[in-house]
Amino acid sequence: MSKQSAHMIVLGNEKGGTGKSTLAMHIVVSLLDQGKSVAVIDLDGRQKTLSRYLENRQQYISKTGAGLSCPESAVVPQSSHQDMKQRQQEEQDSLQVALDQFQSDVDFIVLDCPGNDTWLSRLAHAMADTLVTPMNDSFVDLDLLGQVDARDFQVKKLSHYSDMVWSSRQLRSVGGKPPMDWVVVRNRVLSVHSHNKQRMDAALTALQDRIMFRYITGLNDRVVYRELFPKGLTFLDFKKVQEASKTKMAHVATRYEIRQLVEGLRLPLD
């Protein structure tokens, strides 16, 4: 793949149901609100959740006239060719077409990967300047990264996904690209203190030293996030569209957690 001028943010894991699309939308809208130009490439040609999120947003803008920003976007279809090498080449070519469409015109390209291991996902991981891996705040999802001892949380075995990310890092190094910044995001975190939160913190601390990632807290488990998808909105849009009066959530705390999330990604905003 050719060298990219835009900063590549890849949202990837090999597990569904982690709030990846909601997380991606809040990152995208936050960047747009900061005056950055953003393009989105959806690599999940079957589910297309993030693309449908954007379609809902465009329809909402069209119906209401709301002054909301919307990124440019493209969907990379999965090839149906029976020959594996030919299928991979077709998908790589399709991805390159999408990149060529945006890379010289935007500050950031956000690539959303499917929740399983695919050739397109592996290509995207190898291009990631910032890799964002969301996971639910549970030991079931922690297994995505590696197995830890239940007593002292020491790493016993790395997962296939962690091995794949490591290979992607090696490919970047061979290609002369800067090191990937891998950020694991603890998503859908309960706001109340619990023994599980303490144990998850200890386990992730042990894992991040071994696997070389940073972990930060993402979005709390709030009902409002699940209600935003049909309108294509994010919580960051509420002030602009006067939707805030329809929810009883703690607005200040929610804005703070989104700000902390974006700051924790350490994206090049200057």
DSSP for 215-249 reads EEE--B--HHHHHSGGGT--GGGHHHHT-GGG--S
Map tokens 């050739």 to a residue: 119
What pLDDT shows up at residue 240? 84
Give the three-class secondary structure for 194: coil
Global confidence as pTM = 0.91
CB-based contact 8:113 (threshold 8 Å): no
Beta bridge partners of 157: 147
Question: Can you list the domains of the chain with their CATH numbers?
Answer: 7-265 (3.40.50.300)
Summarize pLDDT for 146-203 with one digit per residue, the tens: 887 767 767 788 889 999 999 999 988 888 889 999 999 988 776 655 677 778 888 8
pLDDT band at 208 (very low <50, low <70, confident <90, very high): confident
Share of the chain above pLDDT 90, in %: 54
pLDDT single digits (tens) 4-29? 589 999 999 988 788 888 899 999 99
